[in-house]
Amino acid sequence: MKPLPARAPPVRDPWKDNARLALITLVVFGHCLEPLRGVASIDALYRFLYLFHMPAFVFLSGAVARADVDLKLLKRIAFQLLLPYLLFQGLYALAAHAPGWPDDGPAGITTPYWLLWYLPSLAAWRLLLPVFMRLRHPLALAVLLALAAGWADDVGYRMSLSRTVAFFPFFVIGHLYAPAWRERLRGPLACVLALASLFALGWAATTVPDSRWLYGSNGYTALGVDDAAGTLWRLLRLGAGVAGTAAFLVLVPQRAYAVTAAGARSLQAYLAHGFVVKFAVVAGVFGWLEASEPPLVNALALLLAAWVLVRLLASVPAARLLSPLTSPQWLERHLWRAPGA
């Protein structure tokens, strides 16, 4: 009996990897802008990025998510999301003891530190998706849940609950409509409309009364409005996120380039870049930039620095170095017992 031929590895979609690479660069760029906020132009650019870059990231995560639950999915959630979350939460807690660290570090295991909120939220979205896909109107219910969550005063940073609910509609949209969007939003006219939409969102970003509306991490009371106004603002935020996501994805190239493969390693760049940004604050890099360069020069320099940092952290050598943390197979071997073993 002839042995079965080896199964070929799945072919990756260059469009999705290009999008991931561009988005992780914008995420790092946004975090680099944070220490310079207070300057009007920097603040406007920061709010513009936050209108669409995380919604687009969540959209792409939904586009590749499965709508069924099995042991393989649960294993991935445990060892590729929750364990890396605990490991990086601990590492950021240790780093926060460094002299001059600009914040207090993690508040505890159940409150994700800064950028780590995405891991428990992604785990929750993957578990929620199979349930919602068996409902008659999954997107409408996800939007209603996102709006209603702001009514609860105790919904906030703990367990990333508020962000999980507030961004879940983008995850559902990505799962339901990513292929259709990709086919329909193509061509020169779509690109022109996408650029016009992004310019309009740039203006809209200046009208956001508080950047916390863009994070999805607080209830309406904490943001200083009543439930009616808060519901309207969150609905507008969801609409802006959808428009920005669609416009951004129209402009993403479809073909593969030499740098495209780095998009497959975007998560490791996402988890690790926070150390570089925070230590740059400690070293006084951002203070020097703010004092010596005009805002436009700072923005361009930080965008270039974000691109270089992402290329380094998403490289193959970095993947080998970070894999014990981002994909802890050493823990999996000790903790996981295969069925029947």
Cα–Cα distance, 1 to 11 (Å, whole number): 29
Q: How confident is the model at residue 341 (pLDDT cuts 50, 70, 90)?
A: low
Q: Does residue 5 carry a pLDDT above 70?
A: no
Q: What is the mean pLDDT of the chain?
A: 89
Q: What is the pLDDT of residue 1?
A: 45
If one compares 32 and 70, the residue with the highest pLDDT of the two is 32
Tokens of 303: 């965008």
Q: Contact, 265 vs 323, CB < 8 A? A: no
pLDDT digits (tens, 9 = 90+) for 209-254: 888 889 988 889 988 899 999 999 999 999 999 999 999 999 999 8
Between CA 271 and CA 89, with CA 51 as vertex, the angle to 5 degrees is 20
CB neighbours of residue 237 within 10 Å: 20
Cα–Cα distance, 173 to 139 (Å, whole number): 7
Q: How confident is the model at residue 188 (pLDDT cuts 50, 70, 90)?
A: confident
CB neighbours of residue 145 within 10 Å: 16
Q: What is the 3-state secondary structure (H, E, C) of 117-136?
A: HHHHHHHHHHHHHHHHCCCC
State the alpha helices, DSSP H only, in 78-220. 83-95, 118-132, 138-149, 161-184, 188-205, 212-215
Cα–Cα distance, 100 to 89 (Å, whole number): 19
| Inter-residue long-range contacts of 279-285, CB under 8 Å, 24+ positions, other chains counted | 279/95, 279/98, 280/32, 281/35, 281/100, 281/102, 282/98, 282/99, 282/100, 282/101, 282/102
Q: What is the pLDDT of residue 47?
A: 94
Q: Contact, 310 vs 18, CB < 8 A? A: no
pLDDT digits (tens, 9 = 90+) for 283-322: 999 988 888 778 889 999 999 999 999 999 999 999 999 9
Angle (deg, nearest 10), helices 295-313 and 316-326: 80
Between CA 131 and CA 122, with CA 87 as vertex, the angle to 5 degrees is 20
Q: What average pLDDT does the segment 116-132 reach?
A: 95
Q: Does residue 340 carry a pLDDT above 70?
A: no
CB neighbours of residue 80 within 10 Å: 18
- In 3D, which of 303, 224, 218 has the Cα closest to residue 28? 303
Cα–Cα distance, 123 to 129 (Å, whole number): 10
DSSP reduced 3-state for 56: helix
Q: Contact, 193 vs 174, CB < 8 A? A: no
For residue 326, what are the contacts with CB-CB under 8 A and spacing of at least 6? 80, 84, 267, 268, 271, 319
Sign of the CA dihedral running 51, 253, 177, 20: negative
Q: What is the pLDDT of residue 179?
A: 83
Angle (deg, nearest 10), helices 295-313 and 266-282: 130
Q: Contact, 25 vs 306, CB < 8 A? A: yes
What's the pTM value of the predicted model, to 2 decimals? 0.92
